[in-house]
Amino acid sequence: MAGAKEIRTQIASIKNTRKITGAMEMVAASKMRKAQDRMEATRPYADKIKNVIRHLGMAHPEYKHPFMQTREVKRVGYIIVSSDRGLAGGLNNNLFRRLIKDIKALKDEGKGVEFCLIGNKAVGFFSRVGGKVLATATHLGDKPRLEDLIGTVKSMLDAFENGEVDEIRIAYNEFVNTMTQKPTVEQIVPLPADQDDQELQHHWDYIYEPDAKDVLEGLLVRYIESLVYQSVVENAACEQPARMVAMKAASDNAGSLIDELQLIYNKARQAAITQEISEIVSGAAAV
C-alpha cells in the first residue's frame, strides 16, 4: 500500500488548513460590518471642516496658507496606507504595484520621493524599495485611533513646510463595495483647489479668536489629519472583505484538493486489496 499513508496525512493537514481559513473567513465577515460603520462615521467631521475652510478661503482670498499654495514639484512625499496583516488577497500588492509604477515615472523625471508608511506591509515593502522613510506607524489594530497618526502626519507636514517635499500624496485602497477595492492615489497637500465657482455673493465673515491665521492653521492641520485618518479607516474597511474573499477561495480550494486526494487514496487502497486477493488466490491455486 505504497503512498496511502502519505496521502492520508496530506489529507489531514489540508483539513487542518481548511479549518483555519474557514475560521479566518468568519472572523473577517464579522469584522467587516463594524469596519464599514467606522468608515461612515468619519465623514461628517471632514465634511464640516471642509465647509469652514471653504468659507474662510472665500472671506480671505488674499491670505494663502502654505498648505494651499502650489509650488514647483521637486520631491514628492507619499503617505502609504496598508494593512498590518497579510492573507488578504491582492489588497496590498495591487496598491504597491500601482505605486511602484508612479514612483518609477517620478524618478524618470528626476524627482525624488519620500515615504510615510502606515501598516506593517508597507514598512516591509518600501524599506527595500529605496527612498527616504520619514516616519512609520504600525499596529493600529481594528480600531485605528487618530492619536496614533498625529506624529506620522506631522513629520510629513513638517517636511513640506521645510521644503523637503513639495507635494504630499496619499495612497490607500478605496472602498467601492464589498467585492471591490480600488487602489487610489490622491494629492492632499497643497490642498487641491475647489472647482466650485461659487460667486462671492455672501460677503460675510467670521469673527476669529484669537486670529484668522491661527484658526486657519489649526483647521488645516486637522483637516489633513482627518483625510489621512479617513484613508486609514477606509483601508481597514477594505481589508476585511478582501480577506474574507481570499479565505473563502482558499477554503474552497482546500475542499476540492481533499476530494481529489480522497479519490487517489481510495484507488490506491482498492489496488492494494485487489493485489493482496490475487496473491492469496494464486498462492492457493499453486498448493
Partner 1 sequence: MSMTIHVDVVSAEGHLFSGQGEMVYAPAVMGELGIAPRHTPLVTQLKPGDVRVDPGQGKPMEHFYVSGGMIEIQPHVVTVLADTAVRAKDLDEAAALEAKRRAEDAIANKSSEMEMAKAQIELAEAVAQLRAIERIREGGN
Residue 19 binding partner 1, by CB under 8 A: no
Per-residue mark of binding to partner 1, 219-248 (x: CB under 8 A): x--x--xx--x-------------------
Closer Cβ to partner 1, 145 or 276, answer by number: 145
CB neighbour list of residue 73: distance below 8 Å, 6 or more residues apart:
111, 166, 167
Q: Is the peptide bond before 190 cis (omega within 30 degrees of 0)?
A: yes
Told to check if 147 binds partner 1 by CB under 8 A, we report: yes
Cα(254)–Cα(245) distance, integer angstroms = 14
Place of cell 491582492: 90
- From 50, 154, 248, 269, residue interacting with partner 1 (rule: CB under 8 A): 154
Tell me: does residue 133 bind partner 1 (CB under 8 A): yes
Task: Single out the residue of 26, 41, 105, 273 in contact with partner 1 (rule: CB under 8 A).
Answer: 41
Q: Which three cell numbers stand for residue 228?
A: 489621512
Residue 214: DSSP 8-state: H
Which residue type is seen at 18?
R
- Those residues whose C-beta lies under 8 Å from the C-beta of residue 155, and which sit 6 or more positions away, are 116, 134, 135
Confirm or reject binding of residue 218 to partner 1 (CB under 8 A): yes
Q: Which stretch binds partner 1 (CB under 8 A): 36-44, 77-85, 170-178, 180-188?
A: 36-44
What the block records as the C-alpha cell of 198 is 461659487
- The residue range among 144-152, 160-168, 171-179, 273-281 that interacts with partner 1, by the rule CB under 8 A, is 144-152
Question: Is 134 or 195 the residue whose CB approaches partner 1 more closely?
Answer: 134
Q: Is 155 an interacting residue with respect to partner 1 (CB under 8 A)?
A: yes
119 — alpha (psi -120 to 50), left (phi > 0) or beta?
left
By CB under 8 A, tell whether 124 contacts partner 1.
yes
In angstroms, what is the minimal distance from the CB of 279 to partner 1? Answer: 30
Burial grade of 284 (CB within 10 A; 0-12, 13-18, 19 or more): exposed
Length of the chain: 287
For 222, list phi and psi in degrees, rounded to 5. Answer: -65, -35
Q: Quick check: 151 binds partner 1 (CB under 8 A)? A: yes
Residue 4 interacts with partner 1 (CB under 8 A): yes or no:
no
Determine which residue in the list 36, 136, 231, 235 makes contact with partner 1, applying CB under 8 A: 136
| Residue 29 or 52 having the CB closest to partner 1 | 52
Among 135, 191, 236, 245, binds partner 1 (CB under 8 A): 135
For partner 1, which stretch binds (CB under 8 A), given 101-109, 161-169, 188-196, 217-225?
217-225
Sign of CA dihedral 100, 105, 132, 236: negative
- Based on its alpha-carbon atoms, the radius of gyration of the chain, rounded to whole angstroms, reads 28
What are the two backbone dihedrals, phi and then psi, of residue 43, each rounded to the nearest 5 degrees?
A: -65, -45
Q: Which residues of the shown chain bind partner 1 in the complex (CB under 8 A)? A: 38, 41-42, 44-46, 48-49, 52, 56, 86, 116-117, 123-124, 127-128, 133-138, 145-147, 150-152, 154-155, 158, 204-210, 214-215, 218-219, 222, 225-226, 229, 253, 257, 260
